[in-house]
Amino acid sequence: MTGFTGDGRPAAATRTVALPDGGRMPAIGMGTWHMGEDRASEEDEAGALCAGMAAGMRLIDTAEMYADGDTERVVGAALKKALHGGVPGLTRDDLFVVDKVLPEHAGADDVRRSCEASLNRLGTEYLDLYLLHWRGDVPLAETVAEFRKLCDEGLIRRWGVSNLDVPAMEELMAVPGGDGCATDQVLYHLGSRGVEVALQPWLRTHRMPMMAYSPLAQGGTRSRRGLFQDPTVRAIAQHHQATPAQVLLAWVLRDDHTVAIPMASSITHAQQNAAAAALRLTEEDLTQLDEAFPAPTEKQPLDWL
């Protein structure tokens, strides 16, 4: 399996999903949770992110919460390296940088301060997408109003949410400007399919893509090892000359309405993740995976790490 399209371009750079405003968002990117927690590993982590960009992954997802801002500094180092010769021809406009604000910072007095601090640590002038990390005590109307101001001032291009289930999304739609939400980022992988019952259909009705964090099952109701060692997953991987991780990513990306943001702290894993964008599972593959890991038939509580 190669990670390139027929014209020689990296598949990860060409696969996108539609956003409600008519724009496009990369279908596969790089998560960064746990990066920046060990100073000795930061150079390797930045190198892995740079390798991912070189392999075609243009989306990087981070959060002010991760390592108390040190993860953003690692991302900033990777961006600087990639944009200054590390990835020839790459420009900031080619990238899609996603960040998240903590719920306790989502009020009128704090959103701007958090956003500007994140921009400073990242070394960039704007965010392509700014998410409310999860629902807190600040009224959604207040957070949306602040997000809209940041959009008007050019500090962010779009805003969205994370870890919100259908009732909260419906509440969001009812506040002024709430229909400007671009996406909902939630935990989703082959072993955690609860969102398929209610949330995923709701998002599709509202033409919002879903962002899947932990698509390689780093968390949630089923362990990573349980999926990576599963006979069905391994047989499909062997058939496609792929890795189990690539099969899991291809499964998340199967509908062209979902974004996957796997984390890779090594260059090899980043390159393998990028190559998964070229893997298209067959109907038979999907049927076998459904039989091995059936979706629930009733609504489940939203899965978290």
Active-site residue set: 66
At residue 284, the 3 state secondary structure works out as helix
283-291 contacts: CB < 8 A, separation 24 or more? 285/236, 285/239, 285/247, 286/251, 286/254, 288/232, 288/235, 288/236, 289/190, 289/232, 289/233, 289/236, 289/251, 291/232
Quote the CA–CA distance of 262 and 278 in Å, as a whole number: 15
Quote the CA–CA distance of 202 and 118 in Å, as a whole number: 31
Consecutive H or E run containing 173: helix 166-174
Contact 60, 264 (CB under 8 A): no
Contact 48, 268 (CB under 8 A): no
Consecutive H or E run containing 288: helix 283-292
